[in-house]
Chains A and B, each alone.
Chain A
Amino acid sequence: MAFDSLSDRLQYALKKVTGRGKLSENDIETMMREVRLSLLEADVNFKVVKEFTNEVKAKALGEKVFKSLTPGQQVVKIVHEELKKIMGDEAESLTFKVQGITIFMMVGLNGAGKTTHAGKLALYCRKKYNKKPLMVAADVYRPAAIDQLVTIGKQLNIPTFELGTNFSPVEIVEKALQFAKDNHHDLVIIDTAGRFHVNEELMLELENLKAVAKPDEILLTVDAMTGQDAVNVALSFHEKLNVSGVVLTKLDGDTRGGAALSIRRVTGVPIKFMGLGEKLDQLEVFHPERMADRILGMGDVLTLIEKAQDAIDEEEAERMAKKFKNATFDYNDFLKQIKQIKRLGNLKGFLKLIPGLGSQLKNIDIDENKFNYIVAMISSMTEQERKNPDLINSSRKHRIARGSGRDISEVNQMTKQFEEMRQMMRKMMNMSPREMERMMNNMNQPGGMRPGTNVSQSKGKGKNRGRRAPWQ
């Protein structure tokens, strides 16, 4: 996810410090250099980086750290706390009028993603707050900007107000507000044209729009890939319009998104949402405190837990556990399991939330289709075959391959995996608690194994690699 590389580097920097007895001033200096470079590479504004590293340094040099038994951990904590301090303490929500029409205005540079996010927000507010939104096409400059918003409106089935390009944005907004009143909309989202913060004429236009619309929220849309200039942009918009929130877009790429830190620090305006893709439901509430965890590579555990809770049916999980125990696990159960995993959504996105996995997954392309293929193959089995996996012989495998349109080698691979899983479960369920403990220890610390256990053999390159369990 967004801050992978930043967390990688910080983790690397912190690794050098953790694990040593005491922190010297030199250690802190080395570490601050890494932190500084890391933040700069992440596009955090130079001044913010300076302030940040100075604050951390000052705190780390204080006696608190030196008295501590684990100074490295204390530094992690300080870095983490300072990051959190910049990001703001909690996720800030949108402001709605208690009565009457709530008005949002989207502003920002060209190409930041205002139009797309006007659509995303409209959808989000309809879903989450039960609003009846109206989108207003007030970008009369960019060719086909109005078409774009209208198309998005059609996709979402949300009405879009437009008057073509022959009216001024102020006129459009005035008429749109009347239209919203007449048609009982309780939320109006105004899409404005992209503009440079230094274009005085166009900034004045926004000020006029603000005066007419009296928006409850002015949302500055900022591309997460923005470099050092993010601060200038945010400051200018904020000075002229008193921005109420930031929508950070394109966070689904590999940008480190340091702009988030800078903007928050320099303007104090909270980041309220993040855009995570081109699809209109790919919008998430920005959680500053979690983002700080993520920067440090602690993984976004909270998000993970929430996601998993939503998706996994507890009763089902319990039933499955029983199955494991009795070793009656069959293809029907396998299918159910896969479907549960799929319900978690994009698997890669999900796995990346797990601490420590983020950086390892960076270059791996998980083929989500693989799950679909497995589902197809299992669906091509007869009910008998699913219940009794031992039935499946070579000729049946060929039939399954034909039925699912996959290659025979894929069927073989899948049945093999399934068998391994089944055997593993059987063994685990029949182990004594002591054996179980030993296995866990072996798994956790590959270097710490006692000599003479079978593990060292099964770890080799032989064909049985990974198949023979240590307790065999």
Chain B
Amino acid sequence: MGIFNNIKKMFNKNKGQMSQEEIDVLEKAEKYKKGMEKTRGSMATRLKTLFDSYSTINEALFDELEEIFIMADIGVNTVLELVDSLRADVRMRSVNDLNEFQSIIIDKIFEIYVKDEVVNTNLNLSDDGLTVLLFVGVNGVGKTTSIGKVAHKLKAEGKKVMMAAGDTFRAGAIDQLKIWAERVGCECITKPEGSDPASVMYEAIQKAKNENVDVLLCDTAGRLQTKVNLMKELEKVHRVISREVPNAPHDTLLVIDATTGQNGMNQAKAFTEATNVSGIVLTKIDGTAKGGIVLAIRNELGVPIKFVTMGEKITDLEYFDIEQYIFGLFSDLFE
């Protein structure tokens, strides 16, 4: 394997000998490591104790592995699949060495995520003209906060950004986005509470076009995926955006809270049906929850993760990187 070898090597290197690129990777790794400290704490320690207490690979070990993965919210189906395929691998290659087995585990998780595809975690930004990003999700996952952070990142990358306050339902949501817009230093298009969210989008798009904005970030009200009428409203928002800008929304980002359990799968299915979700923003991974459900979502629905957020500061957002994520989960095993 060796997907972590580069990262591992770098940790051991003297900073003076590194290229700028390497320093960037390392800084990112540090960030993941720190952000996922609590997460890792439980999972990696358990894995480590597990491997310390076994001298051979046997059924009991597989059972305990299953348990650890389920604890990470990876989801029953995906876990069963994962463990079955681990069993098959061990048998086929007649692996007895626990170290080798550890590498196989990491490889398998990696495989589940990558699925022989080139995973594109970059945003699908339009080459010329306006890019529209639509943020959707259930209540309380952190949509508005994520918009603030993504906007900040894009602005730092030299883009002219604008926000559209499409959550016209929840008390205080518009003000919340406005405060984020102030922090980022960008314009935020609002209409009074109770307005049709699609009309907010329409106005924001016209304004963004006139002012040569590069990226428009659209907030929407949180909604449970079982609320038929609210999902229809979301379809309308999506429709209006695609009518006003060709190929828009360029990315529809489903925001998922890392503490979410198996319901995350239902969320991904329903929102994908309504708005053609193209990526996931995984929030709050700085707690003890692992957000493993995103692996199941990727495995079953093919939707990739584009961002992770790990804190309440405006800079606490990173482009998703599967190597870093798995490294964050297991890094104790490699040090």
Contacts and interface: CB of A to CB of B under 8 A. Distances in A.
A147 B172 contact: yes
Contacts, number: 140
B139 A278 contact: yes
A229 B175 CA distance: 31
B296 to A, nearest CB: 11
A112 B261 contact: no
A226 B261 contact: yes
Given A223-B140, A229-B259, A253-B225, A46 B70 contact: yes
Contacts of A149: 171-172
A225 B260 contact: yes
Contacts of A155: 171
Contacts of B193: 151
A359 interface: no
A365 interface: yes
Nearest to A236: B288
A223 B71 CA distance: 18
Interface in B35-71: 38, 42, 67, 70-71
Contacts of A232: 42, 288-289
Contacts of B76: 37, 40-41
B142 interface: yes
Interface residues of A, number: 46
A43 B263 contact: yes
Given A40-B76, A225-B261, A278-B139, A252 B224 contact: yes
A137 to B, nearest CB: 10
B277 interface: no
B261 A143 contact: no
Contact of A148 (B172, B226, B264): B172
B72 A250 contact: no
A113 B141 CA distance: 10
A433 to B, nearest CB: 44
Contact of B224 (A148, A196, A226, A253): A253
Interface in B175-218: 175-176, 178-180, 193
Contacts of A148: 170-173, 176
Interface in B5-32: none
B313 to A, nearest CB: 11
B173 A144 contact: yes
Output the residue of A225, A250, A253 with the most chain B CB within 10 A.
A225
A256 interface: yes
Contacts of B266: 254-255
Nearest to A113: B140
Contact of B261 (A37, A141, A196, A228): A228
Given A40-B70, A143-B179, A196 B225 contact: no
B179 A256 contact: no
A147 B262 contact: no
B165 to A, nearest CB: 11
Contacts of A111: 139-142, 257, 284
A245 interface: no
Contacts of A228: 70-73, 261, 289
Contacts of A223: 140, 257, 259-260
B172 A144 contact: yes
A406 interface: no
Contacts of B169: 278
A131 B241 CA distance: 47
Interface in A197-255: 197-198, 223, 225-230, 232-233, 250, 252-255
Interface string B216-244: 00000000111010000000000000000
B84 interface: no
A341 interface: no
Q: Which of B72, B172, B224, B284 has the most CB of A within 10 A?
A: B172
A172 to B, nearest CB: 17
A304 interface: no
Nearest to B175: A144
Interface in B280-295: 284, 286-290, 293
A266 to B, nearest CB: 14
A190 interface: no
Contacts of A225: 138, 257, 260-261, 263-264
B300 interface: no
A229 B258 CA distance: 9
A229 B174 CA distance: 31
B225 A254 contact: yes
Contacts of A110: 140, 142, 284
Contacts of A259: 261
A141 B145 CA distance: 12
B312 interface: yes
B167 to A, nearest CB: 11
A112 B141 CA distance: 8
A258 interface: yes
A265 to B, nearest CB: 16
B73 A229 contact: yes
A254 B171 CA distance: 24
Nearest to A198: B38
A276 B274 CA distance: 23
Contacts of A227: 73, 259-262, 264, 289, 293
A46 B71 contact: yes
A151 B286 contact: no
A112 B142 CA distance: 11
Contacts of A250: 138-140, 224
A152 interface: yes
A142 B72 contact: no
What 8 pairs across the A-B complex have the smallest Cβ distances?
A227-B261, A111-B140, A148-B172, A43-B261, A151-B171, A144-B176, A143-B179, A229-B289
Given A230-B261, A259-B261, 4 more contacts: A43-B73, A112-B140, A113-B140, A146-B172
8 contacts: A111-B139, A111-B140, A111-B257, A223-B260, A228-B70, A228-B73, A232-B289, A255-B266
Interface of B: 38, 42, 67, 70-73, 76, 138-142, 169-176, 178-180, 193, 224-226, 228, 257, 259-264, 266, 284, 286-290, 293, 312
